[in-house]
Chains A and B, each alone.
Chain A
Amino acid sequence: MNVLESASLNSNAIYPLELEVNGERRWLWVRAAETLLHTLRDHLGLTGCKPGCENGDCGACTVILNGLPMKSCLMLAVEADGQRITTIEGLKHSPVQEQFVLKQAFQCGYCTSGFIMNGHGLLSAHPDADPETIRLWLESNICRCTSYEEIHGAIMAALAVNKEGGSATGSS
């Protein structure tokens, strides 16, 4: 039974959870009030997703949930029960990742995994994204170091590479 269907969820009680993370099945116990971000970081050691605001404003904690970007600070872990999650640790040589390196689209790197996950989701969902779509997707993340110029370059290049190469799925 999905834990959400439990009649009364006590925020401090712990519940069993099953996740598919980066292609692996994981079973764990979490507090009902715990966000997916903390579960990924503290229980599974996947610290690539970063707490930036824990309010859904900065996107540093973005992961892919069932193929679409999700800010993991805005979701309870128990809500993710039984679902498929990809984190930055699960991406290998994806076009967005590679272009971020080539275009030097990062400085301190703290926002980078969130940007990459969001960009990766964009490539899967909208391989032909027009500039307005790209802006709408990426304005949900904040980078404080760069001017976004390099990130824009990386995303455009990744879209181009993706179209040539066919698939955006660099995930394991």
Chain B
Amino acid sequence: MTGTARYTGDTSKPGLLHAALAVSPHAHARMLSIDTSAARSVPGVRAVITGEDFPVLTGSPLEDRPPLALEKVRYFGEPVAVVVADAEYIAEMAALQVRVEYETLPLVQSPLEAYKPGAPLIHERLAEYKHYEEVYPEPGTNVASRNRIRKGNMEEGWSRSVHTIEVRVSMPQSDHAAMEPRCSTAELLPDGKAVIHSASQSPYIIRSQINRYFHIPLQQIIVHTPLVGGGFGGKAAVQLEFLAFLASRAVGGKAVKLVNSRERDMVSSPVHIGLESRVKLGCTADGKIAAAEITHWFDGGAYSDRGPIMSKAGASDCSGPYRIDNLQCDSLCMYTNHPYSTSFRGFGHPELTFAIERAMDVMAARLSMDPLEFRFLNAIGPGDTTPTQTLLDRSTVGNLPMCIAKLKDMIRWDEQPLIEAKGHFVKARGVCCMWKNSNTPADAGAGAVIIFNADGSVNLLCGAVEIGQGTRTSLTQMVAELLRMDVHKVSISTDVNTETEPQLWKTVASRSTFLVGNAIRAAAHDAIVQLKNTAARVLQLPSAELEIGGGRVYSMRDPGIGIEITKIALGYKLPEGGTIGSQVIGRGSYAMRDIKELDPMTGKGKPGPEWTVGAQMVEVELDTRDYSYRILQAATVIDAGKVINPVFARGQITGGMSMGLGLASREAFAFNDEAQVLNPQFRTYHMLRYGEQPAYFVDFVETPNAEAPFGLRGIGEHGIIGMPAALANALSAATGIALNRLPLTPERIWRTAHDTL
């Protein structure tokens, strides 16, 4: 706003060295030799590091990725060397001088290709890889992980089905494209400390990974994360941090900065996962879904990173928010020779929703039923079970029928026809429902500390990274509300520092407000008890009789009797000397309570504390002459549990919708036959731009979640989830053709139309 907000890349200091990556031009090739002598001889070059310098496999949950390629490269743009130099341009020039001799290997270009028997193996030593968390690799194949859902009785489901349909869909890999490219700085101090600055959503994961792979004690690793210029899941992965660390180690611990160029950021660093999927639905004569069989093949790319957890999410929520008692799903994370994938806004849900919601529309058409009516009829609710066989109640599942009803009202669903033709133009609307669970690890947690100052103001310490979702502001509002004080008296730094702030698992999964919020609730309670105890002794009243608010602790019976917090925040100083109480420091922490890992054979378990449900709509106007179209309207009604800040909440939802419309309509990596990405820059990789935005309509339902602070549910990701499905449903209605492959460019629609004919 004024240019003073500082991001990781904005900080420099005298003597700072710069690193640049040398990357692979091939998507699958054996490295026969690597020659760094030319790069080393460039004046100003301090060091060149290759995979042999650190032959260790990293990754979570599955250790399959060397920070720098070892023996072979598995995707186009894979880092093979790091050059450290006095200036960025010198490092970049020298990186081009790193010479690698390659022998190319057969490519795997799609997850279905990867699944075929006899497909070239991308990880020959899959059996030897160490793993953590829930991941089920199948050595000897390209399956990095497989989760199964087996619920009910399929035979019975199919026999009850009068109508059956099958849909195959695909969604390509694309990019997070946060406006701030990834950036990390590392410095190793003489006393053994490692100081890392990184544009990250996971400063505490960086710390634990540096600890795991470089054996530095946790307290000696200090990770700083200032403002982050957009993450969308892409900055939850740990990649440049390892390289910056190695770079610094190679130059005696001097501070080294590694910044991605946009091109590197788009393909060398992890990307948005792709999906190919097959959905078979069976339905009774009266429109009740009786059976579903779903297979997801996620395009995890060359390394698995968070792919297996996303494919797990693809299984755990595969049914969409519908009651399906007989359900079978296999969800696979496949290795391919594409860039590797990491978490992306929606965490597997925009993908799984695209699959199930295309099938829902096809089935509604088969039944000649109104698509919203069909969804309403099958909406999941209390008393139903999820694919993971979790029994739902109002608190855990919210109110989807209410979302659908509100959406219908908001968009005047019943007053307009689904399709309306005028000359060459066809207006059409598409709808979908969505749900999402967080799929967090069972032990995800957070801490918070509230420190009182002499003037009654407080400092809040917590590990939530500010990536644009307004979390840190929301958390100060929460503190103010709990302590009944003016929000301006609550201060929080923009910088997360792992040395001073209590741990938060990660700033992902729309979980920060939940995890840190619960920690803050405990910390505020702790602070209030301390304030009341001190006040009780000063006022000679039982502390149970005291209340806090307006900068005072006072008697509930007679609010005139009380004491200013300024007088007790650091302890009450008695006139005759001596002190009652001491500085008020509220502390609190929280950990997920009853998440249960999913049984890999049946999917039975509990993937997270609650589901957020919602209903969405997209309206398009298609020009039937050339299949160009405008997106006129987009609408979302979501059960937010509780809306804390209406402006932030709407902005999060519409921002998500905008990104979802981009994914649906144009975003995709273009690969050539060599699996090289042809469009790793914003000139050729298209996103929504100013002026293309439709009219947005957003509304909320508020069904509290009992376990969350203020009853809130996650909403940070959810706007995106149904947009691809809703757009595809709208354009399928407008064209009369099943459009099941994203992105829906006019060319893709034209090709589909002509293939169909």
Binding site for B on A (CB under 8 A): 31, 33, 41-42, 46-58, 60, 87-89, 91, 97, 100-101, 104, 106-113, 116, 134-135, 138-139, 141-152
Contact = CB atoms under 8 A, between A and B. Distances in A.
B12 A138 contact: no
B12 A42 contact: yes
B229 A138 contact: no
Contacts of B659: 144
B1 A97 contact: yes
Interface stretch (B58-66, B610-618, B689-697): B689-697
A97 B179 contact: no
Nearest to A106: B1
A139 B690 contact: yes
Nearest to B229: A110
A150 B3 contact: no
B32 interface: no
Given A110-B230, A144-B230, A152-B690, A47 B262 contact: no
A144 B2 contact: no
A89 to B, nearest CB: 4
Interface in B47-100: 89
Interface stretch (B303-311, B466-474, B699-707): B466-474
Contacts of B1: 88, 97, 100-101, 106, 109, 112-113, 116
B720 to A, nearest CB: 11
A89 B2 contact: yes
Nearest to B87: A31
Nearest to B180: A110
Contacts of A100: 1
Residue among A51, A116, A138 facing the most chain B CB atoms (10 A cut-off): A51
B687 interface: yes
Given A138-B690, A145-B179, 17 more contacts: A47-B3, A48-B4, A50-B7, A52-B179, A52-B682, A91-B2, A97-B1, A101-B1, A106-B468, A107-B470, A108-B228, A109-B5, A135-B691, A144-B230, A147-B655, A147-B657, A147-B658
Given A58-B179, A89-B2, A111-B179, A149 B654 contact: yes
Contact of B179 (A33, A47, A50, A147): A50
Nearest to B232: A144
B682 A33 contact: no
A50 B180 contact: yes
Contact of A138 (B654, B687, B691): B691
A56 B683 CA distance: 8
A134 B690 CA distance: 9
A97 to B, nearest CB: 6
Interface of B: 1-7, 9-10, 12, 89, 177-181, 227-230, 232, 259, 261-262, 467-470, 647-648, 651-652, 654-655, 657-659, 681-683, 687-693, 696
Contact of A53 (B262, B651, B693): B262
B681 A55 contact: yes
B7 A110 contact: yes
Given A47-B3, A108-B230, A147 B696 contact: yes
A152 B227 CA distance: 24
Contacts of A106: 1, 468
A150 to B, nearest CB: 6
List the 9 closest A-B pairs by CB distance, nearest first.
Answer: A48-B3, A108-B468, A110-B229, A107-B468, A57-B682, A135-B691, A147-B654, A147-B658, A47-B10
A97 B4 CA distance: 13
A41 to B, nearest CB: 8
B262 A52 contact: yes
Residue among B3, B178, B259, B687 facing the most chain A CB atoms (10 A cut-off): B3
A108 B2 contact: no
B683 A57 contact: yes
A172 to B, nearest CB: 12
Nearest to A88: B3
A149 B468 contact: no
Given A54-B261, A142-B687, A108 B3 contact: no
Contact of B3 (A113, A139, A151): A113
A108 B681 contact: no
A107 B651 contact: yes
Contacts of B7: 50, 110
A108 B467 contact: yes
B3 A87 contact: yes
Contacts of B688: 148
B233 to A, nearest CB: 12
B89 A33 contact: yes
B611 to A, nearest CB: 24
A134 B181 CA distance: 27
A142 B682 contact: yes
Given A54-B261, A112-B1, A139 B180 contact: no
A140 B191 CA distance: 48
Nearest to A116: B1
B690 A50 contact: no
A88 B179 contact: no
A14 to B, nearest CB: 12
B647 A144 contact: no
Contacts of B262: 52-55
Contacts of B227: 108-109
A109 B468 CA distance: 7
B179 A110 contact: yes
Residue among A31, A41, A58, A88 facing the most chain B CB atoms (10 A cut-off): A58
B687 A55 contact: no
A122 to B, nearest CB: 11
A99 to B, nearest CB: 11
A143 B468 CA distance: 12
A53 B690 contact: no
Nearest to B183: A51
B683 A55 contact: yes
Residue among B262, B467, B691 facing the most chain A CB atoms (10 A cut-off): B691
Contact of A46 (B3, B9, B261): B3
Contact of A148 (B9, B177, B658): B658
A148 B647 CA distance: 14
Given A47-B3, A53-B262, A108 B690 contact: no
Contacts of A138: 690-691
Nearest to B265: A53
A148 B690 CA distance: 6
Contacts of B261: 54
A101 B1 CA distance: 8
Nearest to A101: B1
A149 B650 CA distance: 11
Given A144-B178, A152-B690, A104 B647 contact: yes
Contacts of B468: 106-109, 145
B7 to A, nearest CB: 7
A152 B692 CA distance: 11
A41 B655 CA distance: 29
A50 B229 contact: yes
Contact of B693 (A52, A58, A89, A148): A148
Contacts of B230: 107-108, 110, 144-145
A86 to B, nearest CB: 11
Contacts of B3: 46-49, 87-89, 113
A105 B683 CA distance: 24
Contacts of A104: 647-648, 651
B177 A149 contact: no
Contacts of A49: 3
